[in-house]
Amino acid sequence: MLVGRKYRLMLTPEQAEMAEGFGNICRAVWNTGLEQRRGYRRRGAWIGYVQQAREMAEAKAEHSWLKAAPSHILQQALRDLDQACRTHGTFRVRWKAKQRWQPSFRFPDPRHLSVERLGRKRARVRLPKLGWVAFRWSRPLGGSVKSATVTRDGKHWYVSFLVEDGTREPAVSLERGRVGVDRGVVTLAATSDGQFLDRGFITPGEAERYRRLQQQLARTRKGSKRRKACQGKMRAIMRRVRDRRQDFHARSACQIVDGNALVVLEDLNTAGMTATARGTATEPGTRVRQKAGLNRAILDKGWHSFELAVRNRARRTGAVVRTVNPAHTSTTCPACGHVHPDNRKSQAKFVCTVCGHTGHADTVGAKNTLARGHVGHRAWRPRRQPVREAPTSVNPQGISALAIEAGISSASAAGGSPSPSYET
Ligand SMILES: [Zn+2]
């Protein structure tokens, strides 16, 4: 199984300068390549990776600055560009602007890379042209290196190795549980078995400091040194917030996925939802833009990155991750199937107007999400007959649908063992 391993690099000042240069050349190659592709598209033609790579090799004779960077990383930049254009369309791919850009380049060939461990916490990697670079051995590599990506994030440089760890992806999870997850603005995730996973990602002190820096930034001139320093400090705060969030996502994903064969999430249009969250949280109309950055940090639970963490964990355990249509999940009664907005008394409280079923609205949402994931959302209709509590109820359709997805025939799944009970 391919896994990622990221370490902090200890570049010497000369190496850092060189790496910065590599990054700039990659950026230039990306932008030139993109311009060329757009030119071709405007004429109704198409240029692909192979031709671009050949032209770049020829261009080296004329533009000697291209030779300063290892040719593999430049080819990789063109390959990434090719991929981006194929996925998003040539005119949707963005320029790598100098202001936004954090240097990043990949060495795609493992034959040019060698890693050596030097001590308990020290190791080094040999990278083309940069030579031996020390890095902090913060965790074992655990396999053979396939490629290495060097990036800078603020002041620090990092190397991410793609590692083949020699394990096989489990085809099917041996667990028996199943869980529905409801993601929200107030709580990151509520599960169908009643768990609530959440934490604040920014501390009050950081929020205050960030607010001051925003004011300070407004008083600086564009392009000034003070502005740059101020932006650096702001980014440092946001980086800590981001790291905290990522860490929490990874932990929560383990908590949710482990022990379950099926994980059901709502299919969220994250981009559209963040926009509304931003709008409702700020005073409409006044200073929305200035406050947006901070509010985003407070509000942002990182739904998309959480889903990625769940899928990543599921890859290791063999659990199936499904997404279902989230419409009315928070207003449907999990006990009798009655759908009405009045069922939801407040943000947190759910009381069914027909049968009187009560629960936390997020848990109810998660139960309904799970119920839909069982049978597939196309075929799903609210249940008419009272059934047992959602997380513990299992219908045979759900098992066979899951088994088919996991690649087992439904006969062996249904006949292999007596109907299991899913008591919590
Ligand atoms: Zn009801």
- Does 45 reside within a domain? yes
- Spatial distance between the Cα atoms of 57 and 60, rounded to a whole number of angstroms: 5
pLDDT of the residue at 292:
64
pLDDT of the residue at 34:
95
- Does 212 reside within a domain? no
> Mean pLDDT across the chain, nearest whole number?
83
- Does 67 reside within a domain? yes
Which residue(s) pair with 147 in the sheet? 162
CA 356 to centroid of ligand 1, rounded, Å: 6
- Does 393 reside within a domain? no
- Does 376 reside within a domain? no
- Spatial distance between the Cα atoms of 8 and 27, rounded to a whole number of angstroms: 22
CA 372 to centroid of ligand 1, rounded, Å: 17
Q: Could you tell me the two tokens for 20?
A: 């910065």
- Where in the sequence is the domain holding 92, given as residue range(s)? 1-168
Q: What's the mean pLDDT in 318-328?
A: 88
Q: What's the mean pLDDT in 87-111?
A: 90
Any idea what the Cα angle at residue 409 is, between residues 403 and 410, rounded to 5°? 65
Q: 0.75 cut: is pTM over it?
A: no
- Does 115 reside within a domain? yes
Q: How far is CA 168 from CA 85, 175, 315, 318, 366, in A?
A: 32, 17, 10, 10, 31
CA 182 to centroid of ligand 1, rounded, Å: 19
Which residue(s) pair with 177 in the sheet? 260
pLDDT of the residue at 345:
86
CA 264 to centroid of ligand 1, rounded, Å: 22
Domain total for the chain?
Answer: 1
CA 178 to centroid of ligand 1, rounded, Å: 22
CA 384 to centroid of ligand 1, rounded, Å: 10
Q: What's the mean pLDDT in 255-284?
A: 67
Q: What's the mean pLDDT in 297-326?
A: 86
pLDDT of the residue at 297:
57
- Spatial distance between the Cα atoms of 114 and 263, rounded to a whole number of angstroms: 39
CA 26 to centroid of ligand 1, rounded, Å: 59
| Higher pLDDT pick, 339 / 402 | 339
- Does 140 reside within a domain? yes
| Higher pLDDT pick, 376 / 137 | 137
CA 396 to centroid of ligand 1, rounded, Å: 23
